[in-house]
Structure 1
Amino acid sequence: MGHQGSRGERQISSVFVGIVAIMAVTGWAVWTGYAASAGLAVFLFVTSAWIVSLCLHEYAHARTALHGGDLTVGAKGYLTLNPLKYTHALLSIVLPVVFVILGGIGLPGGAVFIERNRIQGRWKHSLISAAGPLTNAAFAVVCTAPFWLDALDGVPLAFRFALAFLALLQVTAAILNFLPVPGLDGYGVIEPWLSYRVRREVEPLAQFGLIAVFALLWVPAVNTFFFDVVYGLLDSLGVTGTEASCGRELYTFWRDASGFCPTPQD
């Protein structure tokens, strides 16, 4: 029974399979131009792919915690890739999607509850926190592979723009999550190395960290600096700022087009 239970705890959920199926079908629609609205197809493709990356981000935390000594993550459903099993479905899925729609920013919310007292060793604690944003970084590398491999021949323009925007979301998620701000993974990386007194003083701030970062990004000077860094990283991966911006324009299809981007049929 125990063995069957452990298998069930690690079985990929039908919810996650469904989201991947939506990603595949809408990705096909973007590629073939089958959809009546290229913008709607891009919106559904990028949003479903973004949710898939959120699930993988949280799975990476949980899987690393499992190997670090917290055997409770399986019973909590964190190893099934089911986003509905996360501690806060609102923080984990709804808010990150809203952030994308409002500002083109990829920012995973806090989701899986790790029983840290079961894990021994500061390096293990740091690695558990780093695993999530490292997953976003890996996702960005995969999304940009056609660009840095110079393998874009035959890739439809709409799909190319969608990949570029999805890569932008992954890069922003990785950068923001690595910030040493309480409540974000970057702080989780350094927290085990701080004194007990500092950790206790900072702990109450964790619930405001995500909100503070998002608020700061609305400050024009901060926003400009941040996106300069993001576009610089994308450029090193072969993606131009124009491609990422056009992907975002397609994604927000309900807004008036700027006319700056070529239409997907071009």
Structure 2
Amino acid sequence: MDFLAFDLQQLPYVIVVLLIAFTVHEFAHAYVAYKFGDLTAKNEGRVTLNPVSHLDPVGTIFILLFGFGWARPVPVNRFYFKNPRLAGILVSFAGPFSNLVVASIGYFVWYGLLAAGVQISPLIVPFFEMLIWLNLVLFVFNLLPFPPLDGYRIIEDLVSTDMRAKLTQFEQYGMLVFLIIVLTPLSHYTIDPLFQTVLPFISGTLSQFFSGIFF
């Protein structure tokens, strides 16, 4: 189907991996916020690995159609944090970091199976490829310094209070710039080169590390 971002053979793997990646990402935000004293996400049932609690229908459809989407944002109330800046940074970073962890687990299991001489079904290979690739994409993508991504939230907590106030004033325009960069042909000159260099580097580094463990 030409209107989809993925072909029909990839689609089942994409759906399963999205369920895993989005769920783990949002759970990580909610769990870290909860551990720092914010019960907001917990009270809304977000400290869970149940995908139903985290998936956004529109965001899921977007990623299937355009290769770009989102899950339901985790509500965070900084009022409950004893150290709002540190807690805010760690809560924001927890989501992307969880995707890096999932990709690492994918490599670990893959090379572990190969080292053990397990006969791997051809149907399983695309799953591991998609699991690793999509989680690395989410790791890098969510660290971009544009609202509403986690990278932007981290920058908010790193800068001074005055600068944070100024960033808030221009946040709506930042979101517009972000959408233009991602959804228009400008992506060929902005996002695409970044992913074509950073993703292979991270993937290659993880591959070498885990292959070195088993071989």
TM-score interval for Structure 1 and Structure 2 normalised by the shorter chain: 0.7 to 0.9
> Could you tell me how far 1:46 is from its partner in structure 2?
2.7
1:99 aligned partner = 63
Deviation at 1:98, TM superposition (A): 2.2
Report the counterpart of residue 65 of structure 1 in structure 2: 33
Counterpart of 2:74 in structure 1 is 112
State the secondary structure of the residue aligned to 1:124. helix
2:87 counterpart of 1:124: yes
Secondary structure in 1 aligned to 2:114? Answer: coil
Which structure would you say has the larger Rg? 1
Under a length normalisation based on structure 1, what TM-score does the superposition of the two structures give? 0.62
Aligned to 1:133: 96
Evaluate the alpha carbon distance shift between residue 212 and residue 44 of structure 1 in structure 2; reply closer, same or farther with a 3 A threshold. farther
1:211 and 1:81 mapped to 2: Cα distance?
A: 31
**1: distance between equivalents of 2:119 and 2:65?**
29
- Following superposition, the deviation at residue 134 of structure 1 comes to 0.6
Following superposition of structure 1 onto structure 2, how do residues 130-169 of structure 1 map, counting pairs within 5 Å? Answer: 130-149=93-112, 151=114, 154-169=119-134
Equivalent-residue separation in structure 1 for 2:127 and 2:180 (angstroms): 26
Unaligned runs of 5+ in 1: 1-38, 240-266
Cα–Cα, structure 1 residues 164 and 97, in superposed 2: closer, same or farther, change >3 Å? Answer: farther
Question: Residues 116, 194 of structure 1: CA spacing in aligned structure 2 closer, same or farther, 3 A cutoff?
Answer: same
Residue aligning to 1:54: 22
Contact persistence 1:147–1:238 (CA under 8 A):
no
- How much has 1:149 moved relative to structure 2? 4.5
Alpha-carbon distance between aligned partners in 1 of 2:13 and 2:33, rounded to the nearest angstrom = 30
Residue identity matched to 1:99: I
Mapped to 1, the partners of 2:17 and 2:169 lie a distance apart of 33
Take 1:123 and 1:49, find their aligned partners in 2: how far apart are those partners? Answer: 30
Q: 1:82 to 1:66 in 2, by over 3 A?
A: same
CA contact 2:26–2:71 (8 Å) conserved in 1: no
| Amino acid in structure 1 at the alignment position of 2:140 | I
Give the partner amino acid of 2:180: A
**2:46 equivalent in structure 1:** 78
Alignment partner for residue 203 of structure 1, among 165, 168, 172? 168
Name the structure 1 match of 2:3: none
Q: TM-score, normalised by structure 2?
A: 0.75
Distance 1:160 1:84, change over 3 A: closer
**Pairwise CA RMSD of aligned residues?**
2.9
Conservation of the 8 A alpha-carbon contact between 1:60 and 1:131: yes
Taking a change above 3 Å as real, the CA distance of residues 178 and 149 of structure 1, as seen in their structure-2 partners, is same
Residues 162-214 of structure 1: per-residue CA shift (max 9 Å, x gap):
32123111111101111222321112223223222211221244456566445
- Aligned residue pair count: 195
1:236 maps to amino acid: T
Give the Cα separation in 1 of the matches to 2:173 and 2:22: 20
- Partner SS, residue 74 of structure 1: helix
> After superposition, where does 1:154-193 map in structure 2 within 5 Å?
154-193=119-158
1:60: Cα distance to partner? 0.9
- Could you tell me which runs of 5 or more consecutive residues in structure 2 were left unpaired when the two chains were aligned: 1-6, 209-215
